[in-house]
């Protein structure tokens, strides 16, 4: 999947959420979960249902919003409100206030120094993305695998990817080698590496049966914490991952894919 397709998918997700008149995001990262944000999320969902507002109000879990010391945090959009130290008992007041006056006692001033001094780049969408959703994860796995194959081939430490993106690696490559490649080309080099390795492994008898995880991760639900009750949903993710790679349902690169990458 290319950058344009990625951004189309992001736009679709945004449009889906934009259909709701109000969106309530509850932080479901570790700090806020330890302060009852799971119960808070349930109370908010109940409050919305009791009022028959399901078509107008979306209640979603999100990743860390960044101001953990004020947790549990709740964002209300499009009003742009940030509520802090929210308890499950505040759920009714928050839902009743939608489209009306905010709940003043819970407000965290957005302009305070903590947020005012930040320019978010990687975490720009923190607080809006549901960490338990599988949507798009296969695509990100493929993209990250392709990019890290390039980083490995450049002889660089993978930790540099915490700071640099594909354009940065491309600039480094072009500067050192004296070429003028685009970042898409570089990422496709990573895709070529992954397909070549896959083809080699298949010929060596290492097949899709090896695309698995220890049974403990697949069968034993997490006993506590934010992911309580969950197991790894590999069965759902693997077919989508194969599709993203342009492989067959059995996880084999198609002749078409190998030809597209110049590997045939």
> Which residues make up the interface to ligand FES (CB under 6 A)?
27, 29-32, 64-68, 71, 73
Q: Considering the complex, what minimum distance in angstroms separates the CB of residue 37 from ligand FES?
A: 7
- Comparison of 75 and 188: residue with beta carbon closer to ligand FES: 75
* Centroid of chain to Cα 44: 23
* Centroid of chain to Cα 152: 23
d(CA 187, CA 193): 10
Residue at shortest CB range from ligand FES: 31
Give one word for 66, left, alpha or beta, with left for phi > 0 and alpha for psi -120 to 50. left
Residue 22 · residue 57 · CB < 8 Å: yes
Q: How many CB atoms lie within 10 A of CB 37?
A: 26
Residue 153 · residue 82 · CB < 8 Å: no
- Comparison of 82 and 150: residue with beta carbon closer to ligand FES: 82
- Comparison of 91 and 193: residue with beta carbon closer to ligand FES: 91
- Which structure tokens are listed for 80? 């742009």
Q: Considering the complex, what minimum distance in angstroms separates the CB of residue 42 from ligand FES?
A: 17
Q: Considering the complex, what minimum distance in angstroms separates the CB of residue 67 from ligand FES?
A: 6
- Comparison of 114 and 194: residue with beta carbon closer to ligand FES: 114
Residue 234 · residue 218 · CB < 8 Å: yes
Cis peptide before 72 (omega within 30 of 0): yes
Q: What is the DSSP string of 73-100?
A: PEEEETTTEEE-S--GGGHHHHHHTTTS
Q: Considering the complex, what minimum distance in angstroms separates the CB of residue 240 from ligand FES?
A: 28
- Comparison of 73 and 186: residue with beta carbon closer to ligand FES: 73
Q: Considering the complex, what minimum distance in angstroms separates the CB of residue 64 from ligand FES?
A: 3
- Comparison of 64 and 98: residue with beta carbon closer to ligand FES: 64
Q: Considering the complex, what minimum distance in angstroms separates the CB of residue 87 from ligand FES?
A: 14
User: Which alpha helices (DSSP H) does 19-101 contain, by range?
Assistant: 30-33, 37-50, 91-96
- Comparison of 77 and 174: residue with beta carbon closer to ligand FES: 77
- Comparison of 17 and 68: residue with beta carbon closer to ligand FES: 68
d(CA 241, CA 237): 6
User: Is residue 213 classed exposed, middle or buried when 0-12, 13-18 and 19+ CB atoms within 10 A define those classes?
Assistant: exposed
Q: Considering the complex, what minimum distance in angstroms separates the CB of residue 114 from ligand FES?
A: 11
Question: Cα torsion for 99, 103, 104, 107, to the nearest 10°?
Answer: -90
Q: Considering the complex, what minimum distance in angstroms separates the CB of residue 32 from ligand FES?
A: 3
């Amino acid at each position: 999947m290319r950058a344009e397709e990625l951004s189309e998918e992001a736009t679709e997700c945004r449009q889906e959420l934009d259909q709701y008149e109000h969106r309530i995001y509850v932080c479901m990262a570790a700090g806020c979960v330890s302060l009852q944000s799971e119960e808070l999320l349930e109370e908010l969902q109940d409050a919305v249902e009791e009022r028959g507002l399901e078509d107008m109000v979306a209640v979603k879990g999100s990743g860390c919003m960044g101001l953990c010391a004020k947790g549990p945090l709740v964002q209300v959009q499009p009003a742009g409100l940030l509520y802090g130290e929210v308890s499950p008992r505040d759920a009714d007041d928050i839902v009743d206030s939608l489209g009306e006056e905010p709940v003043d006692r819970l407000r965290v001033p957005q302009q305070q120094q903590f947020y005012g001094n930040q320019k978010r780049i990687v975490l720009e969408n923190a607080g809006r993305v549901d960490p338990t959703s599988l949507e798009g994860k296969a695509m990100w796995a493929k993209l990250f695998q392709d990019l890290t194959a390039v980083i490995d081939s450049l002889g660089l430490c993978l930790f540099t990817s915490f700071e640099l993106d594909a354009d940065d690696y491309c600039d480094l490559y072009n500067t050192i080698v004296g070429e003028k490649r685009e970042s898409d080309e570089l990422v496709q080099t990573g895709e070529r590496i992954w397909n070549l390795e896959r083809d080699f492994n298949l010929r060596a008898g290492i097949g899709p049966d090896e695309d698995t995880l220890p049974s403990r991760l697949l069968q034993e639900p997490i006993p506590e914490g934010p992911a309580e009750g969950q197991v790894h949903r590999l069965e759902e993710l693997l077919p989508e991952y194969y599709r993203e790679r342009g492989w067959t349902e059995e996880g084999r690169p198609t002749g078409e894919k190998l030809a597209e990458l110049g590997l045939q």
